[in-house]
Amino acid sequence: MTGVPLIFIWISIVQMSLGMWNYHTMQYATKLAGEYVQVHGGTDGYCKSNTCQVQNVATVLATAAVGLQPSLLNVSFYTISSSDHLTQTLVASCLLSACESNTTNFPNEASNSEFAIKMEYQFNNALVMYALSGRTQKFQNPWFPSYTHQVIVY
């Protein structure tokens, strides 16, 4: 009698652990990519004449996002207005697997010293198989977001 609920609880714990690991990995990858652009994205730093590209940042993201499928990660790159620190201009938005060949400059304007990187991933939850009589709304697959907003230092 107690075996079925215990198995359900065990699988739930494993799924929650996998979800937390995926979320933490995404946050880490986004933070690392932001630090890369922060140090390398300026016109005086590594990317002289503002030649850093989306593919450079995507490579950092892909390297740090261990265990996540690049074809399931939606990535958006923004420059942010230095005057109000809120106005975002979309530079590129693509799946991480497609971003690795995107040659768009990022950040695309030398006057913008702020940028943002957003990444989303839909976690495929195995608990959907336990939904009874087609009621899957209780166990929908959640979207995990990650975000960084930083200022170019060098």
State the burial class of residue 22 (Cβ atoms within 10 Å of its Cβ: 0-12, 13-18, 19+).
middle
Q: For 55-98, what is each residue's pLDDT tens digit?
A: 888 999 999 999 888 888 999 999 888 778 788 888 889 999 99
Does residue 94 contact residue 75 with C-beta atoms inside 8 Å? yes
Does residue 121 contact residue 20 with C-beta atoms inside 8 Å? no
Does residue 64 contact residue 33 with C-beta atoms inside 8 Å? yes
d(CA 60, CA 92): 16
Beta strand 73-80 pairing with 114-122 = antiparallel
CB neighbours of residue 90 within 10 Å: 11
Computed over every residue of the chain, the mean pLDDT equals 81
Sign of CA dihedral 33, 51, 116, 141: negative
Does residue 52 contact residue 106 with C-beta atoms inside 8 Å? yes
SS3 (DSSP) at 137: helix
pLDDT-derived band at 39 (thresholds 50, 70, 90) equals confident
